[in-house]
Amino acid sequence: MPLDGPRVAMLAYSGAGSFDFVTVYEIFGVDYSPRFGTWYRTRTCAVTPGQVELGGGVTVHAAYGLDEAETADLVVVPGWTREQEVPPRALLTALRRARHRGARIMSICTGAFILGHAGLLDHRRATTHWSTAPLLASLFPTATVDPRALFVDDRGVLTSAGMSAGIDLALHIVRTDFGADAAAAIARRLVLAGYRSGGQAQFVDVPLSPDPDDPLPELLDWMRQHLDQRWSLSALGARVHMSPRTLARHFHRLTGMSPHRWLTRERVLAAQRLLEVSDEPIDRVAQRTGIGSAANLRQTFRRELGISPQAYRARYRSRAAARRSR
């Protein structure tokens, strides 16, 4: 299958976050075209092409220089461990030129500091790892830094919180480019629990070794399979033998969201998939996902995605047609 999707430049520089680089490369750099018809054209770029040692002693080969990054559709900026040090001028210039051409610029964790030094965070919302968010805000006061968001997509400049949040942001980009089903399939391949929205908090109080007897993961799976049904918090609590207040507390501990917020997100994701793969009328999509009516679906889509269901379907179909015609 041809690799003629969006062009991605993965930036490599001394000390860059190796986890950031490797995990996101697993999404953009692996050839998934046999599954999806096409995929990203990914290049590793550096100030000077050749071997580059990332953080932790991990070495990657950058076959391309920054000229390749300047012409990319998406530039990925992994963590920058010297937050108060100005990055190489050539790196900042390449990012500015890429953004000026209309490229999306994505940073992971402290990579946001490079975007700040390049002037790309001016008058935008942004995030980074919660522990460095105060420093980011003080160094770049014209940016609005949200220390709680997992990721922020502000008009083509995308920033994420620490480490694994970069995966969530990468899946957000996949969903934008290839649809919700593609993002879900990649998440399953990487053995991830699923997509986490940018509005979800960084601070999720989940134990490293979850209790195998915890009934909530099973409840979440059941809710995903019955999105068309309406429930009260009391009814959900009864399924797992918890009071509504206890359920809400445990729900937030596991997901970082209230049950209502989590359910809204899951219903929107299910509606996106139906709009992508079926010709069902809008009111039927609303019924099948538990959103209720076409009017409710339009209101929910505009609030959550900034677009109507009809426009979402048309945009996805036009992108899919363009990929097939290449």
Residues 232-256: tens digit of each pLDDT? 999 999 999 999 999 998 888 777 7
237 shares its domain with 173 = no
Is 159 within a domain? yes
Is 113 within a domain? yes
**Tens of pLDDT, residues 274-299:** 998 889 999 999 999 999 999 999 99
126 shares its domain with 175 = yes
Is 25 within a domain? yes
| CATH code for the domain of 278 | 1.10.10.60
What does the block give as tokens for 317?
């179909």
Is 197 within a domain? no
What mean pLDDT value characterizes the chain? 87
Is the C-alpha dihedral spanning 138, 143, 144, 150 positive or negative? negative
- Rounded to whole angstroms, what are the CA distances from 307 to 22, 125, 281, 297, 298? 33, 20, 17, 11, 8
220: enclosing H helix or E strand: helix 216-225
215 shares its domain with 303 = yes
294 shares its domain with 182 = no
185 shares its domain with 215 = no
Highest mean pLDDT among 30-39, 190-199, 211-220: 30-39
- Rounded to whole angstroms, what are the CA distances from 283 to 122, 178, 290, 293? 41, 24, 11, 5
Among residues 155, 189, 223, which one ends one of the domains?
189
243 shares its domain with 309 = yes
Is 109 within a domain? yes
- Is there a contact between 78 and 109 (Cβ–Cβ < 8 Å)? yes
243 shares its domain with 97 = no
19 shares its domain with 151 = yes
Among residues 158, 189, 220, which one ends one of the domains?
189
Q: If you average pLDDT over residues 210-220, what whole number do you get?
A: 76
Is 33 within a domain? yes
Does the pTM surpass 0.85? The reply is no
Among residues 164, 189, 214, which one ends one of the domains?
189
- Rounded to whole angstroms, what are the CA distances from 126 to 74, 106, 140, 194, 276? 17, 11, 11, 23, 29
46 shares its domain with 117 = yes
| pLDDT value at residue 208 | 37
| pLDDT value at residue 155 | 86
131 shares its domain with 230 = no
**Tens of pLDDT, residues 105-155:** 999 999 999 999 999 999 999 999 988 999 999 999 999 998 888 889 988
Q: Which structural domain range is residue 226 located in?
A: 206-326
34 shares its domain with 98 = yes
Is 39 within a domain? yes
What does the block give as tokens for 247?
């359920």
What does the block give as tokens for 200?
């979800």
User: Does the structure show a pLDDT above 90 at 51?
Assistant: yes
The tally of domains found in the chain comes to: 2
Is 182 within a domain? yes
152 shares its domain with 17 = yes
| CATH code for the domain of 153 | 3.40.50.880
